Every structure is written in C-alpha cells, then in structure tokens.
Structure 1
Amino acid sequence: MLSTKKTTVGRALAVLGSSLALLTTVGTGSASAHGAISDPPARHFGCYERWAANWQSPQMATEDPMCHQAWQADPSAMWNWNGLLRDGVGGNHRAAVPDGQLCSGGMTFNGRYAALDTPGPWKTVNRPSSFTMNLRDHSSHGADYIRVYVTRQGFDPKTQRLRWSDLELVNEVRNIPTGTTTPIAVTAPGRSGHHVVYTVWQASHADQSYYFCSDVNFTG
C-alpha cells in the first residue's frame, strides 16, 4: 500500500513539474517576446488563448479537435505562441517555407509547429470581406513589411494543406513601428466560408521572419 501511494505521489509530482516547466517557458518567452497575429488569432495563439488554463482537459478533443491534436503533438508550440519564426531567410520565403508547411513556418524549430499544417475543422472567426487584423508585438520589433494573403475561393482548409499557389496577396504595409497591437487592413472580396489568412511579418530588428495562419469564416 505504501509503495502504491509513493508511486501515485511521484506521478503527481512529475506532472506538476512538467506543468511548471511549461509555464516557465511561457514566462521566459514573454520576457523576450516576439509576437503573433492575435485577431483573427493565428492557429497556435487561438489554441493558447482557449486552452492554456485547461490544456489537459479531455473536453478539448470534442470541442476543439484541431487544437487537441496540436496540444498532443507538441504543447510547446502553444506555450511559445510568440516564437513561430525563422532567422536568415533573406526575403526568400518560398524557398524557406515549402508548400504544405506554410503554417509551421517550414517546420521551423525541428517541427515544433508541424501540427498547425494539418487540415481540418480549425476554429474560425466571422469576418466581412473588409476587416482590420491585429498583430501583437510585445517587443516592438517593428516591421520592414507585413504581407497579408488570403486563400482563393475554392480552397478547402478542412482537406487541403496550404500552398503558395492557393494564396492571393491582398495587402502589404512597409516600414511600420509596430507596438503592442498593430492594426492592418484586410480586404478580400469574392470569398465566402472558411478561408486561411496567411501573414508574413518581416521584423525590423534583424533578418527574422514570422509566419501565421489564421482561420476566418467570410460572411459575404
């Protein structure tokens, strides 16, 4: 009986230790924060917002299955929601980020964000054809440019992995001193239903490129 109790306590302490380690990662990540699209939320940021306080809940599997598979694959992708980036791309995004790997930034950080590339019923937010996107940049890195793409009508995020040819560039802003929340205009006429808004943020402080997939339901 005593041995069983020790084993149970040991397992509980191990789980607690893992949880504290993850929370430490969040803290240190925020201290040297980079950023993400917060509205409409990038996939990993949305999963973090919805489930960080309850990330081991079995309800996630039925209520938010795409986030569930992402948390199961690598919880650090959500704890490090502000670090989906690549260094030294030199502006050649299509070479650094191959088709089918756009949401993971070309499998950056040894595939930490790979689950974001998985097609499926990702949670969407409703938007009209013209809306304002927000970039959260805690470190105020600024932007040499921010490019916003939207998938063409006919693309199905539930069954297809995202390719560059699926995207249409709808806006590009240059040389902006981003702050805690930076608004970006998005206009994507002729679309309805579930689409992916894909954002490339080229930071100003270094050759550092960020890649974000946000899921939107265009209401027409």
Structure 2
Amino acid sequence: MHAYRHADQTRPLLRAFALVTAALLFLVPWADSAAAHGSVVDPPSRNYGCWDRWGSDFQNPAMADLDPMCWQAWQDNPNAMWNWNGLYRDNVGGNHRAAVPDGTLCSGGQAEGGRYNSLDTVGPWQTTDLDNSFRLHLHDQASHGADYLRIYVTEQGFDPATEPLGWDDLELVTETGSFAPTQDIYVDVDAPGRTGHHVVYTIWQASHMDQVYYLCSDVNFG
C-alpha cells in the first residue's frame, strides 16, 4: 500500500516534467528537426517576430497594448507563431501571383489551411529600424538551399498600417542566384528613396523540391 501511494504521488511530477520539456522544445529557436523549415529572421518576418518577442510570454494580456498586431495573431491561431518556419506552398511552378492573390501576400495565399491568415491583417505591425542598404538574414533550419530569393520592398507612399498588401505595391529590388544547402543565407539589399514603415517581402524558392516561402518583414527606414 505504501508503494502504491508513492507511485501515485510521483505521477503528477512526471506529468509536470513532460509539460516543461515540451514547452522548452518550443522555445529553442534553432533546434534541429526533420520537419523544420525556415524564415527571414532579420529583419524578422511577422510571425517569427511575434514568436521571438512573445513566445515565452504569449498569454500576457499586456501584449494587447504593447504589440497589438502580434496580440491579434496569437488570438487567431497560436500555431502560426509556434510554426514560424512553416509558411510555404508546394508545387507553385514559379507562378507566384496566381498562387498568392492580392491581400494575402503575408499569409502565402492563405497557406496551410489558413493558419497564417492573421499575418495579412492591416495595422501597425512592429518594425525593425534599417538603413536603406541592409543585410537580410534567412535562417534555413533544414538546409534546403535555394534556387533563388526574390526580395521586394513596398513603394514609397504605401502605408502597411492602413492598406492591404498587393503585388503592385512592391518593387523587386534584389534577385539572387542559387544557394547550396546551408542553415544561414545572407543577402545585401538596397532600397533607396524610402522612409518610414515599409514591408520587405521575400520569396524563397527552396531547392530540395518545388516549395516556396512567402515572408513579410515590417521595417522602418530612417
């Protein structure tokens, strides 16, 4: 009887340990995983930025005032942030405009069953301060490599806080060649003639298969 009571008292501790371990796995940004993919981490994509700022405190009601766009995203679907590395579409065949209609660019055309739809919400997303010449950092957890990256920046006069993002709002400023499989890709970008809040829009065509990532990063050109 004594042994039974001891085992019964131990079970809650084991359950608690399992929950803490699972939580820690979510909070390790560069953990290797066969299912891992990637995203732009500098300037951070919308969902990576929300995960980076609030992943360890995502139930804090202060987020509603401090970071309202991340707050609405967490309320809509927390998995968009936990899966910050999974915003992609398969088998696009290079026809990005057909796969991703206007107004849905930041969700990759409502990719993954609409998991990332909150990223299309118009409003005052937190920005990263940048010079007009900057270096973009893509973290590729699974080392997919790239056939190319196409990096667009919104035209001067477009306001991400009040207008949905469409293809005609973007200027292609950089298109790269291919990258061999690696975990970190860096690209130098020039976006002259811009000030204020803009969106840097990155299309990453992975090279391991026809898999394309569509990534919005909010920036402030000083």
| TM-score, length of structure 1 as denominator length | 0.87
Give the partner amino acid of 1:194: H
Q: 121, 125, 129: which one pairs with 2:128?
A: 125
Distance between the aligned counterparts of 1:19 and 1:152, measured in 2?
45
Please state how far the C-alpha of 1:148 moved relative to its aligned partner.
0.1
Among the aligned pairs, what percent are the same residue? 58
> Given the alignment of the two structures, is residue 158 of structure 1 paired with residue 191 of structure 2, yes or no?
no
Distance between the aligned counterparts of 1:100 and 1:18, measured in 2?
38
For structure 1, list consecutive stretches of 5 or more residues without a partner in the other structure.
1-16
- Moved runs in structure 1, 4+ residues, more than 4 A? 17-27
> Given the alignment of the two structures, is residue 82 of structure 1 paired with residue 85 of structure 2, yes or no?
yes
Give the partner amino acid of 1:131: F
Give the partner amino acid of 1:161: P
| Partner-residue secondary structure (3-state), 1:53 | coil
Q: CA RMSD in A?
A: 2.1
Please state how far the C-alpha of 1:180 moved relative to its aligned partner.
2.2
Distance between the aligned counterparts of 1:197 and 1:75, measured in 2?
23
1:23-62 to 2 correspondence within 5 Å?
A: 31=33, 32-62=35-65
Distance between the aligned counterparts of 1:53 and 1:108, measured in 2?
25
Q: Indicate the residue corresponding to 1:214 in structure 2.
A: 217
Instruction: Tell me if structure 2 keeps the 8 A contact 1:25–1:80.
Output: no
Q: Indicate the residue corresponding to 1:194 in structure 2.
A: 197
Instruction: Pick the structure with greater CA Rg.
Output: 2
Instruction: Tell me if structure 1 keeps the 8 A contact 2:27–2:55.
Output: no
Please state how far the C-alpha of 1:174 moved relative to its aligned partner.
1.4
Give the partner amino acid of 1:210: Y
1:105-144 to 2 correspondence within 5 Å?
A: 105-144=108-147
| Partner-residue secondary structure (3-state), 2:188 | strand
Summarize deviations over 1:57-111 as a string: whole Å, max 9, x none. Answer: 0011011000000000000000000000000000000000000000000001111
| TM-score, length of structure 2 as denominator length | 0.86
| Partner-residue secondary structure (3-state), 1:169 | strand
* Cα 1:95–1:30 shift into 2, 3 Å: farther
Instruction: Tell me if structure 2 keeps the 8 A contact 1:30–1:82.
Output: no
Distance between the aligned counterparts of 1:194 and 1:19, measured in 2?
38
For structure 2, list consecutive stretches of 5 or more residues without a partner in the other structure.
1-17
Q: Indicate the residue corresponding to 1:3 in structure 2.
A: none
| Partner-residue secondary structure (3-state), 1:206 | coil
* Cα 1:58–1:149 shift into 2, 3 Å: same
